[in-house]
Amino acid sequence: KATMEVEANDDGVLGKILVADGTQGVKVNEPIAELQDSGAAGTEEPEAPTHDGTAAPADAPAPAQAPHDNGNNQRAEAPRPPAPAVIDGDGQESGRIAVSPLARRMAKQAGIDLSGMKGSGPGGRIVKQDVETATRPGGAASDGKDTPPPAPKSAPAVLAPHSLVPHTPMRRTIAERLTAAKRTVPHFYVSADVELDALLTLRADLNARSPAEGAGGFKLSVNDMLIKAAALALRRVPAVNAAWTDEGIARFEDIDISVAVSVPDGLITPIIRGADQKGLAAVSREMKELASRARAGKLRPEEFQGGGFSISNMGMYGVTEFAAIINPPQAAILAIAAAVQRPVVREGALAIATVCTCTLSVDHRAVDGALGAEWLAAFRAIVEDPLSLML
């Protein structure tokens, strides 16, 4: 349904046409012509006229009136007659310049004027090697005209004075995994403002009930409660607890939450396994233990490898909103921003609420937009009615 020009990648001479002009029903990938090296010019005439705009070599055999002459004696007996016009690489008569499509493109990119360049190809045709020679010190041979120098190339970027910090194995791993995630995983994002006042009240009440001493003591953080809320939301919307594979979508049976922890060399994601089955105090104690050993570099592989869903919380830095990169092969990660006081409307009246913006990054291959929005709505409902965390 379209007609387009196809350029040869290499310089050469059209040696043989295999499919005549106007032939119908030519199969895809079927050869239509043979391209010979420039040195083979004149050894064989094409079987049909060319239509690709390639210049005929000036040292071609005798004209059509002598079809039985092999051309070798013809070249020995008579000098090359100058052609009144040549066909350039774009298929147009220039009367002056014969140039291959590749050489023309290279010259344009390098800012080289071809009008004064002498070609080394058949019939003085300018080929790739001529342009490459012109871009090197000394330039290309010319026919007496002054060839303008190539346009100066921009100098490579120069770094300001700096010290170089060698990459650690962890830094390289982070770079490779997250670069691959951004390149190969089609991210989409859904955000919601979540009110935390009821959750903060419950947290203060529960912490006040904690034993002052003994093994049963605990101190819940907002993050501990949000981990549990995310786990319960996955229980309500289990299709988000998934991963994309080439064979199908893997639906995880357990709800294991990976939590991003900053460490000196980067970050690591220790896992709260079965988070939906654990109480708030158990989640809090386990998270503190894992984070402490993560910063000390003492996590066992099974404590940070795996997981079905990730959480990244940067609220402690005052970040008001951000989107996180998915942690493959998981299908989603929740980014939690800072809790700030904002004006809200309740029952037609203006009020002040403590609100944080939560953004869910989702792998669109495994989870559709409506499903991601459904999960975020479930998470918001749990956080804003935090007594459900106790069930």
Return the active site residues.
364
Alpha carbon distance 103, 129 (integer Å):
8
Phi-psi region of 261 (alpha: psi -120 to 50; beta: other; left: phi over 0): beta
349-363 and 261-263 beta bridge pairing = unpaired
Alpha carbon distance 388, 340 (integer Å):
23
357-to-190, 195, 352 alpha-carbon distances in Å: 10, 9, 15
